[in-house]
Structure 1
Amino acid sequence: MFYIKKEIMSLILAINPGNTSTKIALFKGTKLLKTEVVRHSKKNLERFDHFIEQLEYRSNSVKQFLDKNNIDPKSIDYFIGRGGCLRPLISG
Structure 2
Amino acid sequence: MAQDIVILLNIRRMSLTKELCKDFIQFVKKSQDVCYLARGLTQEFGDVIESGFGRHEIKKLLEMIDNVSIAETEADNLEDALVRKLMKWKKK
TM range (shorter): 0.3 to 0.5
Higher normalized contact order (CA 8 Å, seq sep 6+, divided by chain length): 2
Write 1 or 2 for the structure with the bigger share of helix: 2
Output the TM-score relative to the length of structure 1: 0.34
Highest CA radius of gyration, 1 or 2? 2
